[in-house]
Amino acid sequence: MNTGLAVAELLWQPFARNEFMRNALLASALVSVICAIAGTYVVLRGLSFVGDALAHGVIPGIALALLFGVPGVVGAAIGAVVMMGGVSVITSRVRLSADTAIGLLFVGMLSLGVIITSRSTSFVGDITRILFGELLGVDTSDLAWQAAVLVVVAAIAFVAHRPFVLMSLDDGLARTSGFSVRFFHALMLTMVAMAVVGSFQLVGTLLVLGLLVAPAATGALLARRVSTMMLVASLCGVTSSYVGLLTSYHFDVAAGASIVFTSVYLFVIVAVLTIPRRMRGTSELPHQHEHAH
Amino acid sequence: MNGTSYTITASHLDVGHGLHRVVRDIDLHTQPGDLVALIGTNGSGKSTLLKTLAGMLPAMHGDLRVLGTRPGAAPKRVAYLPQHPVSSHTLPLRARDVVAMGRYAHLGLFKRAGSTDREIVERTMRRTGASEFADKPLREMSGGQQQRTHLAQVLAREAEVLLLDEPTAGLDIAGKAAVAEVIASERARGVTVVLATHDLADAASATAVMLLAQRVVAFGPPSQVLSDQNVRECFGFTQPH
């Protein structure tokens, strides 16, 4: 009985006693749902690298904002727009493979961010905050901002669900169904950028991809429908947030990284547990046709 | 037959990718219920022509109208089956969900799928045999099951023009027979079918056959077009003049 109480105390007491822990839990739960929605399409459409590039592309914007005393999210939003424009131009106009071109753009933006931050008198503190986030410093205005981002991201996913799913299967299918692939691809990137901008304060730009991809990838392993995948991803994200925060509190380790690590660890566990099911699936996977047209 | 009854009209049409013209000077006029078989080897231009008719590639030259408008402008009335529909193994979609996507052209962004849409989905799945694995995820299907699912999706649009790129690829004899039956019943209800295929047997029942080898080798009724000389030329046994 006493042991049970002690365990319950360990599991709940950090949040009951500390407002910063409650805020952190609420914020990471909001961000988990935002990332589960956007991340589902990132995984389905194979945009992980673009998502990573967007996460790094916002760094110069945040650095400039900090330098001029403007809110970081404003700089991040501007950085995201510049990065999306760059990705769009590169993927449509440059005769390089998309991953090479996007890779160059994102290391360019990352180095620019570091150069700008190095002008700041508190360089180490600023760059650490940008790269790894500040989960335990969340206040109510941050929560309101994240709730607003959640509403917009959910609205985009609701309105554009059909073209997004068609594009996940095949761009041509979306086009011949009467949907503009260019417009809805840009809308999907906007949604991913909003998720990045809404999440970087918590886990930092370096780790935000983990929240976008890991819970959604876990959802993809378990779900048979897109809506279920989103739900599973949300549950994985919220669970990872709770476990990560608890780990961070009791063992005095970085909170954002603990959450992301938990979500990746959860993915590994589910991937291992579902190997037998997937082996059954691959034994009758479609044969590949040898000819190409 | 007046001019407005044509479903596809192409005059002096050049098709290709980017700056590369694959086939020049195509003339094609189809009416409701017609079956046009496009025959040729890989790279002969069959898929390029179908994609141009679907509005996925721009016409490089000439006039092209599909159902009286520019290609791609009537998505509810034209359905296209690509050669190898992409089937990502991460996609959590069941056969029924994939077929239901065939109704999206009619439903747009906001219209809810009604009982009629659901009936159409179930009916088309029965026609291609996909109803036997309706709840199976796409990623766990065999190649033949995927092909039946994608064909059902195309039929679920209930279009007036069907553009099918090798619909029997990966199917067994029963599957091929089912596709032939589907094409016949679609034609019977006035649907124009343009079919790209390697198989000369598919061409026998066509209204017209177009033999392609990066140019139009021959075009016309099967009895006139499928001569030994034309077929040899189409499949590269002799050099074109």
What pLDDT, in 10s, does the model give residues A133-161?
Answer: 888 888 888 899 899 999 999 999 999 99
pLDDT per residue over A172-190, tens digit each? 899 999 999 989 998 999 9
Query: Are B88 and A229 an interchain contact pair (Cβ–Cβ within 8 Å)?
Result: no
Q: Which residues of B, range 86-125, sit inside 8 Å of A by Cβ?
A: 86-94, 97-98, 101, 104-105, 107-110
Indicate whether A84 belongs to any domain.
Answer: yes
Residue positions counted in chain A: 293
Joined together, the tokens standing for residue A70 give: 């403007």
Indicate whether A213 belongs to any domain.
Answer: yes
A50: domain CATH number is 1.10.3470.10
Q: Which residues of A, range 63-92, sit inside 8 Å of B by Cβ?
A: none
A–B CB contacts, 8 A cutoff, strictly below: 111
Residue from the list B83, B104, B143 with its beta carbon closest to the beta carbon of A177: B104
The C-alpha of B80 sits at a distance from chain A's nearest C-alpha, in angstroms, of: 7
Query: Are B105 and A175 an interchain contact pair (Cβ–Cβ within 8 Å)?
Result: no
ipTM over cut 0.90: no
Residues of chain B positioned with their CB less than 8 A from the CB of A178: 75-76, 105, 108
Percent of all residues in chain A with a pLDDT value above 90, rounded to a whole number: 42
The C-alpha of A178 sits at a distance from chain B's nearest C-alpha, in angstroms, of: 5
Indicate whether A13 belongs to any domain.
Answer: no
Query: In 10 A of CB B240, how many CB atoms?
Result: 10
Query: Are A176 and B88 an interchain contact pair (Cβ–Cβ within 8 Å)?
Result: no
> Is B1-77+160-241 in CATH node 3.40.462.20?
no
pLDDT per residue over A251-278, tens digit each? 999 888 899 999 999 999 999 998 877 6
All CATH 3.40.50.300 domain ranges of chain B, comma separated, are 1-77+160-241
Indicate whether A288 belongs to any domain.
Answer: no
The C-alpha of A283 sits at a distance from chain B's nearest C-alpha, in angstroms, of: 9
| 3-state SS, residue B50 | helix
Residue from the list A177, A225, A285 with its beta carbon closest to the beta carbon of B75: A177
Give the number of domains in chain A.
1
Angle between helices A140-159 and A181-203 (to 10 degrees): 160
Query: For B56, which DSSP code?
Result: S
pLDDT beyond 50 at A207: yes
Indicate whether A35 belongs to any domain.
Answer: yes
Owning domain of residue A261: 18-271
Residue from the list B46, B104, B169 with its beta carbon closest to the beta carbon of A162: B104
Q: Which of A166-170, B61-65, B219-223, B224-228 has the lowest mean pLDDT?
A: B224-228
- CB-based contact (8 Å) between B143 and chain A? yes
Query: Are A220 and B170 an interchain contact pair (Cβ–Cβ within 8 Å)?
Result: no
More confident residue, B4 or B199: B199
Region for A2 from its dihedrals, namely left if φ exceeds 0, alpha if ψ lies in -120 to 50, beta otherwise: alpha
User: Is the sign of the CA dihedral A59, A63, A68, A69 positive or negative?
Assistant: positive
pLDDT number for residue A287: 40
Question: DSSP per residue over chain A, as a string?
Answer: -HHHHHHHHHHHHHHHH-HHHHHHHHHHHHHHHHHHHHHHHHHHTT-HHHHHHHHHHTHHHHHHHHHHT--HHHHHHHHHHHHHHHHHHHHHH-SS-HHHHHHHHHHHHHHHHHHHHTTSTTHHHHHHHHHH--GGG--HHHHHHHHHHHHHHHHHHHHTHHHHHHHHH-HHHHHHTT--HHHHHHHHHHHHHHHHHHHHHHH-TTTHHHHHHHHHHHHHHH-SSHHHHHHHHHHHHHHHHHHHHHHHHHHT--HHHHHHHHHHHHHHHHHHHTHHHHHHHHTTPPPPPS---
- CB-based contact (8 Å) between A223 and chain B? yes
Give CA–CA dist A108/A210, Å, rounded: 21
Residues of chain B positioned with their CB less than 8 A from the CB of A44: 88, 90-91
What's the whole-number mean pLDDT along residues B114-122? 95
Residues of chain A positioned with their CB less than 8 A from the CB of B146: 286
Residue A173 phi, psi dihedral angles, 5° rounding = -65, -40
